[in-house]
Amino acid sequence: MRKLVRHLAAMAAIVVAGGLLSATLVRLAPGFGTDERQLDSRLNSESVEALRQARARDRNIPSFYLHYLLRALRGDLGESRTLNRPVRQLLAERLPVTARLVGAGLLAGWLCAVLLAVGATLTRKPACDLLATLVGALFLSVPAAVLALLFVFASAPACLAIALVVFPKVFSYTRNLLAKSYSLPHLMTAYAKGSGPLRILVWHVLPVAGTQLLAVAGISVSIALGAAIPVEALCGIAGIGQLAWQAALGRDLPLLVNLTVLVTVVTLAANWGSEFAGRDLRTREA
């Protein structure tokens, strides 16, 4: 329990530091604080001054961030400068879209990777090994943005582009892990005693490799989230990735800080969730 509390405290500290880092970066960016509405000749001097004042509040980063955190605790995430809409509303609209996209991509990527890795390990032929290495290397070499463009061209589901980004990393790790597990001495004994390949896989290999595969599960969430940015931006999907892209280009401070915090929370939660699940599995085995 104490360890869990310590983990949560560390997670909160990293999230707060991540938000502060992105706020500082936006503040230091050239062109920050300018508002094109100030050039609108229909606005009188008081309105222009009011706009300038509103921007001036954001110039002091510690003050902006403190106010942001206090407001966030009350559920107010501020308003997007570029889209002129409450950030909370934008996140509520777009989060499910990205969750579906990333979820489907992760599922498809993992399914392909694990099935192919098991197949390549069980066949144990140099040609299969070579083919597996080449397939992994090929997909590792295509940028996510190119995959997104090719999927737009082919009118294929965008989640498959994310699956192809996740697949090679999970595949190469799973294949190496399974190869290592199959060379353990107790598996040789199981083979010698006549156990079938499926029985060996389910009873002897997967329990050993499972805990380490869980660690990759956490990392693959981060990979898929990263891939969602070019995929959503280029495929025209209104999700969190596209929002991050628009916020970065528009130097939209409130939106960018919220997105950084959100992405950091999701990544950390995925990593620590997989770490705890792995620890739980190891404890049960022991």
Chain residues binding other proteins by CB under 8 A are 10, 13-15, 17-18, 21-22, 25-26, 28-30, 126, 129-130, 133-134, 136-138, 140-146, 149-150, 153, 176, 222-223, 225-227, 229-230, 233-234, 244-245, 248-249, 251, 256, 260, 263-264, 267-268, 271
Cβ proximity to other proteins: between 30 and 75 the closer is 30
Cβ proximity to other proteins: between 66 and 140 the closer is 140
Cβ proximity to other proteins: between 10 and 66 the closer is 10
113 with 167: CB under 8 angstroms? yes
Kindly state the smallest distance separating residue 269's Cβ from other proteins, in Å.
10
- Residue bearing tokens 């062109």: 31
- Residue bearing tokens 């991050």: 244
Partners of 79 in the β-ladder = 86
Q: SS3 of 78, please?
A: coil
Report the distance separating Cα 95 and Cα 201, nearest Å.
37
Kindly state the smallest distance separating residue 212's Cβ from other proteins, in Å.
14
Cβ proximity to other proteins: between 4 and 13 the closer is 13
258 with 78: CB under 8 angstroms? yes
Report the distance separating Cα 42 and Cα 183, nearest Å.
77
Kindly state the smallest distance separating residue 193's Cβ from other proteins, in Å.
32
Cβ proximity to other proteins: between 190 and 269 the closer is 269
Cβ proximity to other proteins: between 132 and 201 the closer is 132
Token readout for 155 is 């009118």
Q: How far apart are the first and last CA of the chain?
A: 20
- Residue bearing tokens 């390949």: 197
Nearest to 139 by CA among 115, 118, 112: 112
Classify residue 75 as exposed, middle or buried by CB count within 10 Å of its CB (0-12, 13-18, 19+).
Answer: exposed
Cβ proximity to other proteins: between 5 and 28 the closer is 28
Kindly state the smallest distance separating residue 195's Cβ from other proteins, in Å.
29
Kindly state the smallest distance separating residue 65's Cβ from other proteins, in Å.
15
Please count the CA atoms within 13 angstroms of the CA of 72 that sit on its side-chain side: 16
Report the distance separating Cα 118 and Cα 177, nearest Å.
10
Kindly state the smallest distance separating residue 230's Cβ from other proteins, in Å.
6
Nearest to 233 by CA among 112, 44, 94, 87: 94
Kindly state the smallest distance separating residue 268's Cβ from other proteins, in Å.
5
